[in-house]
Amino acid sequence: MEEDRYIDLLLKEADAEITDAEQLELADWLEASEANRTKADQIRKGWEVSAQAPNVISLDLDEQYKLVREKIRRTAPSKSKTIQVKAWQIAAGILLLVGFSWISYRILQSPPTKMLVYQGPSDHLKLPDGSTIWLKQNTQFQFTDSGTVRQGRLTGRAYFEIKRDASQPFEIITTLGKITVLGTSFEIDASNVNEVIVTVSEGKVKLSNDQQETIELNPGETGKITELEIEKAHYIQPAGSWRLPPRIFNQESLGTVLRDIEENTLSGLTPNNHRPTNAKLALPYRIPTLMNSSLYWRRCSMSKLPEKVLHNFT
């Protein structure tokens, strides 16, 4: 058993796996006798031999080469298959090239996404997509067209006539919410920081806020977005009445003036009180003075027509 131990130590030493303590133990054993040293030499020689790979198999190389040639012939890819594979490779290459070219063409042809900034007051501004906007004083409208969506950012008050494009909705972002349309006319009043008022003239408009609440407005309807909610409002303010040209009346009856206002700006306005509708204007009068007051239009009724207007009638 002792010999097994030292053979193991000798092999560990040869494989550089021996510890220092084992090395000392082995040195003592080697010192002990010449016989031990002779045995150790044999073991070390055996270890060296184990790294050699003697040729134990002799071969007929001609025969072996024939077998290799035969295997090469059997496993060679057939020419028709090679041609077929090459044809596929060429076809795939052409397809890739066409696809890449088409994508490149589309990228080059698509309009660059640049931002256009419009400052009010401005009338009849044409956007690149064909839509028209009117901006009031102190209003700014930033417009971008990414190719998939038309987007504007509004501060202030504006009237829009959006050119219909089903593939590219038009979105208008305000501080309190978003207005989405396809093609329609409407007004947005975002001049008040606490609320955004949207009044629709034609088509449908969708309002949404950060809380993902939405409402849809039809022609003649008004919606209001505040920080807390989004709802339909009951204003009778005409959409974009401020953008109409001034109307000048001279020696016209009150009835005529009101009918004109009703036809051109505001529906549902009918004389219903004590004021005589056949009174005549004493002096020329510019309607915009009346129109510009949104406060007035929100609570408009014949009985509350400003004295400033009425005193012109005799």
Partner 1 sequence: MNDLELWQQVQSGNEEAFQQLFYHHHTALVNRAYHFLRDEESAKDLAQDLFVKLWHQRLDLQIKDSVKAYLHRAIRNICINHLQKRKHVAMDDQPEREDYAPNAQQELQTIDLEKMVQVAISKMPEACRTIFLLRRMDELSLKEIAGELHISPKTVENQLTKARKILAQYLKPLLHLFWILLIPH
User: For binding to partner 1 (CB under 8 A), which residues are involved?
Assistant: 3-4, 7-8, 11-12, 15, 17, 35, 38-39, 42-43, 45-47, 49-59, 61, 64-65, 67-68, 71-72, 75-76
How many Å apart are CA 68 and CA 62, to the nearest integer?
A: 10
Q: Please, which residue, 44 or 259, has the CB nearer to partner 1?
A: 44
The full DSSP string for 240-306 is TGGGSPP-EESS-BHHHHHHHHHHHT-TT----SSS-TTPBBSS-EETHHHHT-HHHHHT--GGG--
Q: How far is the CB of 75 from partner 1 (least distance, A)?
A: 6
Q: Please, which residue, 5 or 299, has the CB nearer to partner 1?
A: 5
The full DSSP string for 150-188 is EEEEEEEEEEEEPPP-TTS-EEEE-SSEEEEESS-EEEE
Which pair of structure tokens corresponds to residue 70? 């035969």
Q: How far is the CB of 69 from partner 1 (least distance, A)?
A: 9
Q: Please, which residue, 40 or 205, has the CB nearer to partner 1?
A: 40
Q: Name beta bridge partners: 172.
A: 152, 179
Q: Please, which residue, 44 or 247, has the CB nearer to partner 1?
A: 44
Q: Please, which residue, 67 or 248, has the CB nearer to partner 1?
A: 67
Q: How far is the CB of 72 from partner 1 (least distance, A)?
A: 5
How far from chain centre, in Å, is Cα 124?
29
Q: How far is the CB of 18 from partner 1 (least distance, A)?
A: 11
Q: How far is the CB of 54 from partner 1 (least distance, A)?
A: 6
* Count of other CB atoms within 10 angstroms of residue 95: 10
DSSP class of 127: P
